[in-house]
Amino acid sequence: MVAKAIEDQVKEKELFKENVSKTAREIADRQTEVLFKEIQKANAERSVREKDSKSSKVTPSVDEEEVVALVNKYRKGASSIRNLEKSSDTKGHVTEDEVVEVIMNLRKENVTGEVPVSKEEVELYNKEISVDEKVGHKRCNKKELSREAVSSDGTDEESESEKRL
């Protein structure tokens, strides 16, 4: 009976030890998880502060409607190449700077409507315009001359073809 009581006490102490160890491990695991979350949070805050301190620029105002329109426009046609080009810092997330850059580029395209053109194309365009202007000018003069005949005293007289009408 005494041996059984001692045996029961030893078993009880072992169970108690196991419970304490198990609880300690659970607490340590939870603390480790919480600690990792806190470290991640601190790292994220630090990286945001570093980015803010590095960029001393003023963020241009971007309408929410512009952002929504831009996202809807490119959501379906997003290419996998663009995703591969993203930096590892953002892990594929779109940053505010990227959104502002794209919107500013779209604004510039909408306002100017410019397309890259070579010097040769500009020279050819200017040459064609000058030729067209000359041709148009000549046509205009021919039409005027065909409708009216200028007399020697400088007064306008109707041509014979217009008198018939």
Quote the CA–CA distance of 159 and 148 in Å, as a whole number.
Answer: 5
Query: Tell me, what's the pLDDT at 83?
Result: 47
C-alpha distances (whole Å) from 137 to each of 28, 125, 132, 161 are 92, 18, 8, 22
pLDDT per residue as tens, the chain (165 positions)? 888 889 999 999 999 999 988 888 888 777 777 777 888 888 888 888 777 666 555 556 666 777 777 776 666 555 444 444 444 555 667 777 787 887 777 777 665 556 667 788 878 877 766 655 555 555 555 555 555 555 555 555 554 555 555
d(CA 109, CA 106): 5
What confidence score (pLDDT) does residue 14 get?
92
Distances (CA, A) of 134 to 69, 76, 122: 46, 50, 19
